[in-house]
Amino acid sequence: MRLAIKYTLATVLVMLFAVRSYADDAPMKVVSEATNGVIKELIKTSPEDRDPKLVERLVANYILPAIDQEKIAMGALGKYWRRATPEEQQRFITIFRERQMKTYGGAFKAFSGETLTFSETRYSPDGERAIVKGEFTQSSGSKVPVDFRLYLDKDSDQWLVYDAVISGLSMVKTYRTQLSDRLQNISIAELLTELETEPVTPVTVQDS
């Protein structure tokens, strides 16, 4: 009996430590609350009922608070960010956000029971950056690694997402390569006009 009690107490302590560790894991909490919050909302509706207003609400409530729009925009433009005027920079942030919302809209519309789970958080030596390791399980059962990169914003003391890596491919780096190739032939102003009128290609998560 005494051995059983000791085992039970040890188990409880381990469980409490695990719960506390997760609670203290701010980067994982940020991405978990954002993604799981969206998923919980989506399972309440059928694809036919997911209208643009629902998408906008989900993005505003769960996605936007978790990411740094300006940092993602800066990463996507790369060296061209510093060449843009302040007005062009702000315009790009706005355009990029709108395009991301349309991309989310396509993904939310097609949602059919997929799940996203997280296994660990890896911190940089200085503790100011982190990678949250995740796995996206499709309705077919196939699994795709999805990692989120975050940094600690010292002004707000909040962890914010600045990139996502799907099957080893950085979202920001992919955008930067595409935009850099285009900016070799046109100006930033012309690129902005293109982005405002160019249709958004739906993006899906596929296993490699």
pLDDT tens per residue across span 41-64: 888 888 888 887 887 888 888 988
Measured N-to-C along each axis, helices 69-77 and 171-183 cross at an angle, to the nearest 10 degrees, of: 50
Which residue in 98, 85, 63 sits closest to 200, CA to CA?
98
- Residue 114, Cβ density class (10 Å: 0-12 exposed, 13-18 middle, ≥19 buried): middle
Residue 113 falls within a domain, yes or no? yes
- Taking residues 139-161, what's their average pLDDT? 92
Residue 180 predicted with pLDDT over 70: yes
Residue 47 falls within a domain, yes or no? yes
Q: How far apart are CA 53 and CA 14, in angstroms?
A: 44
Q: How many domains, the chain? A: 1
pTM: 0.79
**For 60-84, how does the pLDDT look when each residue is reduced to its tens digit (9 = 90+)?**
889 889 999 999 999 999 999 999 9
In this prediction, residue 52 carries a pLDDT of 78
In this prediction, residue 14 carries a pLDDT of 30
Task: Write out the residue range of the structural domain in which residue 19 sits.
Answer: 2-197
Query: Which of 3-17, 78-92, 161-175 is most confident?
Result: 78-92
Spatial CB neighbours of 208, under 8 Å, sequence gap ≥ 6: 144, 167, 168
Residue 63 falls within a domain, yes or no? yes
Q: Indicate the residue type of 103.
A: T
Radius of gyration (C-alpha) of the chain in whole angstroms: 20
CATH of the domain at 87: 3.10.450.710
How does residue 13 score in pLDDT terms, banded at 50, 70 and 90?
A: very low
- Taking residues 191-202, what's their average pLDDT? 79
In this prediction, residue 200 carries a pLDDT of 60
Residue 4 predicted with pLDDT over 70: no
Mean pLDDT score of the chain, rounded to an integer? Answer: 82
Residue 168 falls within a domain, yes or no? yes
Q: Indicate the residue type of 198.
A: E
Residue 104 predicted with pLDDT over 80: no
Residue 125 falls within a domain, yes or no? yes
Length, in residues, of the chain: 208
Residue 198 predicted with pLDDT over 70: yes
